[in-house]
């Protein structure tokens, strides 16, 4: 099997799309050395119409995997589309620059140009079946995993205890609620809140305030220490397809507190509390419980590690390749 994989997400400096594309390609190549996996990308006009066809022909690709909502517009061979979530169609305020995805992905799906579709969770799979009227046999949930580089570390981060958020700073992530919930805890205990991640241009600049540290993008080498040494990893997102930073934090042994989003529930299981993302009061209570420490906090950390062991990129690669085989079967049969 010769698979061309869309490398466009690798142009992003950070975030789940880049992580997904990189980790999946490496895991596929390691587990299936008899296959060829080639990363392809281009920025010229009509790339998805003609340029990608040229690259696939040059590499003699027998299948294309679109890692970010797109596949070639001319169906000259089987293709698989990754549909990570339905956020572009749920609230226009969440994505200021998603018009292309909003208009083109439904056409590629509904006209059958994407032979098969993969989602990161059963939650998104169910949403996609209902929204796009996809036949259930054509769409498969393939859970993601955290990189092996994320593991507990004893490195010290700063001099003060902190809560941690990692992810793109964007409207959907619900940062204002997190700030509202954290402020009383900082006033009482002096615990800082660290926000790590790229700020998208449609997210307002946060004003300086005591205890709030805006870290910007943090390298992968430094993230495990941030996760491991946090009192808790907090993720109040209004909607997620999976929530990869949550799993990374769990794999580092962090206590996790997240919203009641159904995609996040598939990741967390019973490892940590899930709270209403519209009400700051339970978030404040959970952060205060973390500040008190003790057995409650240690139990959550142990549950995080146990739950994280159920995910691996090797499993993700095996399940993804099964979708490739099914796409080829449908194309030829």
**Predicted confidence (pLDDT) per residue in 172-200, tens digit:** 999 999 999 999 999 999 999 999 999 99
The CA R_g of the chain, rounded to the nearest whole Å, is: 21
Q: DSSP letter string over 123-154?
A: HHHHHHHHHHT--GGGEEE------TT-----
Distance in angstroms (rounded) separating the CA atoms of residues 39 and 191 = 44
Task: Please say whether the beta carbons of 293 and 189 come within 8 A.
Answer: no
Q: Are strands 162-166 and 232-235 parallel, antiparallel or unpaired?
A: parallel
- Of 288, 261, 59, the C-alpha closest to 187 is 288
Q: Collect all residues with Cβ–Cβ distance below 8 Å to 74 and sequence separation of at least 6.
A: 49, 53
Positions of CATH 3.40.50.2000 in the chain: 2-145+312-332, 162-308
155 and 225 in contact (C-beta within 8 Å)? yes
- Do residues 107 and 277 lie in contact, with contact meaning Cβ atoms separated by under 8 Å? no
Task: Determine the pLDDT at residue 107.
Answer: 96
Burial class of 73 by CB neighbour count within 10 A (0 to 12, 13 to 18, 19+): middle
Distances 81 to 20, 72, 73, 156, 240 between C-alpha atoms, Å? 13, 10, 12, 41, 18
pLDDT tens track, the chain, 333 positions: 999 999 999 988 777 899 999 999 999 999 999 999 999 999 888 999 999 999 999 999 999 999 999 999 999 999 999 999 999 999 988 988 789 899 999 999 999 999 999 999 999 999 999 999 999 999 999 999 999 999 999 866 666 789 999 999 999 999 999 999 999 999 999 999 999 999 999 999 999 999 999 999 999 999 999 999 999 999 999 999 999 999 999 999 999 999 999 999 999 999 999 999 999 999 999 999 999 999 989 999 999 999 999 999 999 999 999 999 999 999 997
Cβ within 8 Å of residue 102, ≥6 positions away? 88, 89, 95
Candidate CATH numbers 3.40.30.10, 3.30.950.10, 3.40.50.2300, 3.40.50.2000; the one for domain 162-308: 3.40.50.2000
Residue pLDDT, tens place only, 302-322: 999 999 999 999 999 999 999
Tokens representing 106 are 């439904």
Q: What is d(CA 275, CA 289) in angstroms, rounded to the nearest whole number?
A: 14
In this structure, are residues 242 and 16 in contact, taking their beta carbons and an 8 Å threshold? yes
Q: pTM, whole model, 2 decimals? A: 0.94
Pairing of strands 274-275, 232-235: unpaired
Residues 6+ apart with CB under 8 A from 82: 20, 65, 66, 67, 68, 69, 117, 118, 119, 120
Query: For 34-56, how does the pLDDT look when each residue is reduced to its tens digit (9 = 90+)?
Result: 999 999 999 888 999 999 999 99
- The span from the CA of 222 to the CA of 235, in Å, is 19
Closest CA to 143 of 84, 79, 70: 84
User: The tokens 């969440």 sit on which residue?
Assistant: 94
On whether the 2-145+312-332 domain is CATH 2.40.50.180, my answer is no
Determine how many CB atoms are found less than 10 A away from the CB of residue 175.
Answer: 20
Residues counted in the chain: 333
Q: Using the structure block, give the residue that is written with the tokens 């990754």.
A: 82
């Amino acid at each position: 099997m010769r698979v061309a994989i869309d490398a466009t997400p690798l142009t992003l400096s950070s975030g789940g799309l880049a992580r997904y594309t990189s980790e999946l390609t490496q895991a596929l190549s390691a587990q299936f050395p008899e296959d060829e996996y080639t990363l392809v990308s281009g920025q010229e006009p009509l790339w998805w119409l003609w340029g990608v066809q040229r690259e696939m022909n040059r590499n003699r690709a027998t299948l294309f995997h679109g890692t970010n909502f797109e596949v070639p517009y001319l169906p000259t061979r089987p293709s698989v589309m990754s549909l990570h979530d339905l956020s572009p169609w749920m609230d226009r305020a969440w994505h200021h620059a998603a018009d292309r995805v909003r208009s083109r992905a439904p056409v590629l799906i509904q006209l059958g140009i994407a032979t098969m579709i993969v989602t990161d969770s059963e939650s998104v799979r169910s949403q996609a079946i209902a929204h796009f009227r996809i036949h259930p046999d054509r769409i498969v949930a393939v859970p993601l995993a955290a990189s092996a580089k994320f593991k507990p570390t004893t490195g010290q981060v700063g001099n003060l205890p902190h809560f941690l958020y990692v992810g793109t700073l964007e409207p959907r992530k619900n940062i204002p609620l997190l700030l509202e919930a954290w402020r009383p805890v900082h006033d009482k205990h002096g615990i800082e809140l660290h926000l790590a991640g790229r700020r998208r241009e449609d997210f307002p600049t946060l004003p300086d305030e005591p205890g709030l540290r805006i870290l910007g993008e943090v390298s992968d080498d430094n993230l495990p220490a941030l996760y491991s040494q946090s009192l808790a990893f907090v993720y109040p997102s209004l909607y997620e397809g999976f929530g990869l930073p949550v799993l990374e934090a769990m794999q580092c042994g962090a206590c996790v507190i997240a919203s009641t989003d159904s995609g996040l529930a598939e990741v967390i299981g019973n490892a940590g509390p899930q709270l209403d993302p519209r009400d700051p009061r339970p978030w404040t209570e959970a952060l205060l419980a973390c500040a008190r420490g003790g057995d409650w906090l240690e139990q959550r950390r142990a549950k995080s590690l146990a739950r994280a062991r159920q995910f691996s990129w090797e499993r993700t690669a095996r399940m993804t390749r099964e979708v490739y085989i099914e796409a080829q079967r449908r194309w030829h049969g």
